[in-house]
Amino acid sequence: MSQDPNAKVGIDVSEVGANAAETGERDLSDHVDVVDDHEAFHEPPDFHALAEHGHVATQLDLDAEPIITVDNLKMYFPVKSSGLVRRTVGHVQAVDGVSFQVPRGGSLGLVGESGCGKSTTGRLITRLYKPTGGSMMFEGHDLAKLSTSEMKPLRRNVQMIFQDPYTSLNPRHTVGSIVGAPLAVHNIVPKDKILPRVQELLEVVGLNPEHYNRYPNEFSGGQRQRIGIARALTLNPKLLVADEPVSALDVSIQAQVVNLLQDLQREFDIAFLFIAHDLAVVRHFCPEVAVMYLGKIVEIGDRETIYGHAHHPYTQALLSAVPDVKQAAIGGRRERIRLEGDVPSPINPPSGCRFRTRCQFAQEICAKVEPPLLQIGKRHKVACHFAGELGAHPATPVTTDLLGVDDQGSPVPGATPSNTQLTGPGYEKTWYDLRSKQTTGV
Amino acid sequence: MTITSPSSAASQADVDGPFLQVEDLTVTFPTQDGPVQAVKGLSYSVELGKTLGIVGESGSGKSVSSMAVMGLHDAKSSEITGSIRVGGTEVIGLGESRMRKLRGNAMAMIFQDALAALHPFYRVGDQLAEAYAMHHPKASKRDARRKAIEMLDRVGIPQPDRRVDDFPHQFSGGMRQRAMIAMGLINDPSLLIADEPTTALDVTVQAQILDLLQDLQREFNSAVIIITHDLGVIAEMADDVLVMYAGRCVEYGTTKEILTRPEMPYSWGLLSSIPDVTASTDARLIPIPGNPPSLLKPPSGCPFHPRCAHRDKVPGDLCVTELPALTPASNRAGHLKRCHLPNPQEIYQLEVLPEIAPDLAEEIR
């Protein structure tokens, strides 16, 4: 691969920017005030053309090689005592042994409640934090072990889109210097070549390239998010961590940005780690989804499995909590699983299964033994002793044979744990079938 | 919950009529660049025990109109005309001292950002007790505190007798929202305005808060206005829906009508720009092009015309020249829309629905 991102200069912008061109955001013509935005319309937008540019949900590419393999990633933040001598009195186990893969050019969604560690995971992958343990293999390098100086040349491959377009752009810098900064930092092109590349990027994300010398405050929320996306694209990254990229935007603008991200993913073959709490947006964008709870992945699988046949009580509760527009046809509220209380403190998480304090199926074993993240389908892993579809959770734990314990979670003397496929990243060819309690394969 | 026929926004008020009656409300803010009409000719009504949902983008005037109901606009920097009657009392032009008696007592508001809406220096219990004592001058401090604990318990805060002495920062996001709901409800208001009550919350907490709001509404039989941009929340909570665009009502009707048979392209746009958690994966996400218009210089004719993808189906340049009136929709009484399209039902079912919900379009055929 060429070191020069301008090697890819022949991008067909007409294709990518078209979506935004339709939106009229580029109609902020040069000397007209932003206020006169709508005045620039003469032709009405055509519905069918609009519909053409709207995307259906992204499909899963089964053959894609992983671009990043995260194995047993841990991040513990020290908690210091107050007073003169600030001793470490504990740790916030923000991320505690997370393993997953993101396929090249694909996207993995990371969902969960606030405080479950999904944003921390994103920041670990971009190495804004140095992990406490575990590995992140990216193109033969372990990002978790590299020093800051060794990391620098690799940073161009992993970039980030932030949630809040109002605070993630420096208000005192022009759009040109914000988007061009990565080029200057990495010393990739001579100074006089930065501007053309910036203008090209602005066009790619659907902004007027002439606006490079404007300041962020002159743009609306959706346009600012586009600037943030342009900045992330500057160095042609192979992996983008998108941390709640649309949740700060208006509903009508959310769709514009999601469509833009899908355009970019197709055009430049970028892999996404898509972090969001909006389950519907994640479902649309990500063919694979991981559900996190208190620093751990509790269920991971492809879209159809997670949204259609979730086996973990937490995933089921999350899904049932989402308000559904279709409910309008029936009226009233839909039946839902009520989760009581809040997420427990990650400083002192519950023993065994971390979800047990809020789980309606929790039994003795859940407090004693932590359930492994077990592969139970071709592309489906779940960490629960009582894994089962909604309304069909088994009465006895399904994991006893694997862990060598009895139904109460006490070790059975003489029994050897037969678990051979524990929590690695990615999926194995064989899996543990819940019905027959045997390892099966294709 | 049953959905009864909606009281038409245009219907005449009578004595046992709706608790809140807003008629021809216009809110104007004079600015250096000229007057900004944030709300124009808005009429709606909410009965006791009913919920009205107001949807629209930011800047569409949904918050401004409800703040006018609460009398929260500074008279010096805003001009409000029209009529707002809360339980028979005309609110517009009411003196501040009489307004204070009403506000927090007969009507209350819940804000989006609970951390910003609660005072960081005062204990949660003291803030609740103050709201009670203000409207019950004879109540002792101990009474007010007891009432605060009772309300915290009512909204589901564990160990309310201990948490009452906590500061807002010691509460989690969901608990703060509960505390604010408790503060809003401490005087049993008949009208509760919830401005994006769950937008900043996780789905699980959102479900808890919505459950709570619904339980409390049933208990106190209050009229509720929910302002949100989440159509899912509207679908599950509201009896009637008011869609606002550029300060005007563009569509009004029962929740079922608006969300299953919308007749205004802006409502179609709202429905097509959000993915649904149960929809088919073949559904396209179609954004509304462009940005909301500036209210300083609103577009001529229909304010939505610069972004409307169905403008070409209206003969001539009616959309550009003439503001459509709020007229009854083609299908059912009580459903009002502001659009020139002659055959919106047909367009929605044959053109829009197949793109945004292919599974639903199949069913209808």
Chain B residue with CA closest to A256: the answer is B287
Cβ burial, residue B184 (10 Å; 0-12/13-18/19+): buried
Do A328 and B233 lie within an 8 Å CB cutoff?
no
Which residues of B fall within a CB distance of 8 Å from A255?
272-274, 285-288
Substitution target in B62, B163, B236 with the highest count of A β-carbons within 10 Å is B236
User: What residue ranges do the domains of chain B occupy?
Assistant: 124-183, 261-364
Q: Amino acid identity of A277?
A: H
pTM for this structure?
0.85
Q: Amino acid identity of A83?
A: G
Q: Find, among A373, A308, A291, the residue nearest to A108 by Cα.
A: A291
Write out pLDDT tens, residues A404-415: 888 888 887 776
Helix, strand, or coil (residue B240)? strand
Helix-strand-coil split of chain A, %, nearest 5: 35, 20, 45
Q: Are B281 and B361 in contact (CB under 8 A)?
A: no
Do B287 and A256 lie within an 8 Å CB cutoff?
yes
Which residues of A fall within a CB distance of 8 Å from B158?
341
Q: Find, among B273, B338, B320, the residue nearest to A50 by Cα.
A: B273
- Cα angle vertex B242, ends B237, B218, to 5°? 30
Give the model's pLDDT for residue A83: 80
Q: Find, among B177, B111, B202, B241, the residue nearest to A322 by Cα.
A: B202
- List the structure tokens of A160: 């980030």
At residue A310, what are phi and psi to the nearest 5 degrees?
A: -65, 140
- Tell me the shortest Cα–Cα distance from A415 to chain B, in angstroms: 40
Q: Amino acid identity of A42?
A: H
Write out pLDDT tens, residues A19-36: 444 444 433 333 333 333
- Cα angle vertex B267, ends B265, B273, to 5°? 100
> d(Cα B57, Cα B230) in Å, to the nearest integer?
10
Q: Are B292 and B60 in contact (CB under 8 A)?
A: yes
Which residues of A fall within a CB distance of 8 Å from B33?
35
Helix, strand, or coil (residue A377)? strand
Region of A45 on the Ramachandran plot (φ > 0 left; ψ -120 to 50 alpha; else beta): beta
Q: How many CB pairs under 8 A join A and B?
A: 213
Q: Are B187 and B108 in contact (CB under 8 A)?
A: yes
Chain B residue with CA closest to A25: the answer is B290
Give me the count of residues in chain A. Answer: 442
Which residues of B fall within a CB distance of 8 Å from A51?
284, 286, 355
Do A328 and B175 lie within an 8 Å CB cutoff?
no
Chain A residue with CA closest to B271: the answer is A325
Do A37 and B270 lie within an 8 Å CB cutoff?
no
Give the model's pLDDT for residue A3: 46
Do A251 and B203 lie within an 8 Å CB cutoff?
no
Which residues of A fall within a CB distance of 8 Å from B56?
none
Question: pLDDT of chain A along its 442 residues, tens only?
Answer: 444 444 444 444 444 444 444 444 433 333 333 333 433 445 667 788 778 778 888 888 877 889 999 999 999 999 888 887 888 888 999 999 999 999 999 999 999 988 889 999 999 999 999 999 999 999 889 999 999 899 988 999 999 999 888 889 999 999 999 999 999 888 888 888 899 999 999 999 989 999 999 999 999 888 999 999 999 999 999 999 999 998 888 888 888 999 999 999 999 999 999 999 889 999 999 999 999 999 999 999 999 999 999 999 999 999 998 888 888 887 777 788 888 777 888 888 999 999 999 998 999 999 998 898 888 888 999 999 999 998 888 988 888 878 888 888 888 777 666 655 556 788 888 888 888 877 887 6
Chain A residue with CA closest to B201: the answer is A114
- Tell me the shortest Cα–Cα distance from B168 to chain A, in angstroms: 16
Do A342 and B274 lie within an 8 Å CB cutoff?
no
Do B291 and A253 lie within an 8 Å CB cutoff?
yes
Which residues of A fall within a CB distance of 8 Å from B1?
331-333
Other C-beta atoms lying within 10 Å of the C-beta of residue B159? 10
- List the structure tokens of A1: 């691969």
Which residues of A fall within a CB distance of 8 Å from B6?
none
Do A321 and B57 lie within an 8 Å CB cutoff?
no
At residue A74, what are phi and psi to the nearest 5 degrees?
A: -135, 140
**Range list of H helices, A79-158:** 118-125, 148-155
Do A339 and B204 lie within an 8 Å CB cutoff?
yes
- Cα angle vertex B254, ends B253, B259, to 5°? 90
Give the model's pLDDT for residue A310: 94
Do A23 and B290 lie within an 8 Å CB cutoff?
yes
Other C-beta atoms lying within 10 Å of the C-beta of residue B352? 23
- List the structure tokens of A333: 């509220």
- Tell me the shortest Cα–Cα distance from A162 to chain B, in angstroms: 17
At residue A145, what are phi and psi to the nearest 5 degrees?
A: -100, -15
Question: pLDDT of chain B along its 365 residues, tens only?
Answer: 334 333 333 333 344 678 999 999 999 999 888 899 999 999 999 999 999 999 988 888 888 999 999 998 888 889 999 999 998 889 988 888 888 888 888 899 998 888 888 999 999 999 999 999 999 999 999 999 999 999 998 888 888 999 999 999 998 888 888 899 899 889 989 999 999 888 777 888 888 889 888 988 998 899 999 998 888 899 999 999 999 999 999 999 999 989 988 999 999 999 888 888 888 888 888 888 888 888 888 899 999 999 998 988 888 888 999 999 998 887 667 899 999 998 888 888 888 888 888 777 776 65
Instruction: Return the residue matching tokens 């009489």.
Output: B98
Do A51 and B355 lie within an 8 Å CB cutoff?
yes
Widest Cα–Cα separation across chain A: 82
Give the model's pLDDT for residue A34: 39
Find the CB nearest B274 among A47, A223, A251. Answer: A251
Give the model's pLDDT for residue A438: 79
- Tell me the shortest Cα–Cα distance from B185 to chain A, in angstroms: 21
- Tell me the shortest Cα–Cα distance from B269 to chain A, in angstroms: 7
Instruction: Write down the number of H helices and E strands in chain B.
Output: 15, 12
Do B285 and A55 lie within an 8 Å CB cutoff?
yes
Q: Find, among B360, B218, B206, B184, the residue nearest to B276 by Cα.
A: B360
Q: What is the DSSP letter of B267?
A: H
Substitution target in B155, B254, B285 with the highest count of A β-carbons within 10 Å is B285
Do A333 and B231 lie within an 8 Å CB cutoff?
no
Q: Are B178 and B155 in contact (CB under 8 A)?
A: yes
- Tell me the shortest Cα–Cα distance from B305 to chain A, in angstroms: 8
Do A57 and B275 lie within an 8 Å CB cutoff?
yes
Chain A residue with CA closest to B292: the answer is A38
Distance from chain centroid for Cα A350: 25
Which residues of A fall within a CB distance of 8 Å from B289?
22-24, 45, 50, 256
Task: Enumerate the β-bridge partners of residue A91.
Answer: A78
Do A23 and B269 lie within an 8 Å CB cutoff?
no
Which residues of B fall within a CB distance of 8 Å from A208?
none
Substitution target in B204, B234, B360 with the highest count of A β-carbons within 10 Å is B204
DSSP characters over B104-123 = TTTEEEE-S-HHHHS-TTS-
Give the model's pLDDT for residue B5: 39
Distances (CA, A) of B197 to B86, B148, B178, B184, B289: 22, 21, 10, 12, 27
Q: Are A178 and A216 in contact (CB under 8 A)?
A: yes
Which residues of A fall within a CB distance of 8 Å from B286?
50-51, 54, 255
Give the model's pLDDT for residue B238: 93
